[in-house]
Amino acid sequence: MKNIIIHSVPVVIAFVWIALTSGTFNPIIIKGPDFLKFYMLLIFGFYISVFLLQPFKEISSRITLYFMIFIFALGTIKLVRGLILDKPVGILILILLIQGAAIILLQIKSKI
């Protein structure tokens, strides 16, 4: 239960920020630079929450993996939308590659 609460705090903060700045709760419809700010806030907040859970030895739980997949899926949806609309998506691709590597490393670390 504490994992869900700690991991959901950055998600709530990111969505409150997007609601205050853009007036919407839908991150898919906002423009590129605003989405990148939202996405980076979401990612950094999530990884800070992961580091906060380290003293409790709960870094590689299933809930952590589910939150990582949720964040990755959100970025992938926005990437596909950007490609369909023929927008520049280079920075988002780099962020998704790094995040994909982090997911893979977490899985490898949890199996060791």
DSSP string spanning 63-109? Answer: HHHHHHHHHHHHHHHHHHHHHHTT---HHHHHHHHHHHHHHHHHHHH
pLDDT for 34-55, tens place per residue?
Answer: 999 999 999 999 988 888 877 7
CB 100 within 8 A of CB 71: no
Q: Which candidate, 54, 48, 38, places its Cα nearest to that of 7?
A: 48
94 pLDDT above the threshold of 90: yes
111 pLDDT above the threshold of 90: no
pTM of the model: 0.87
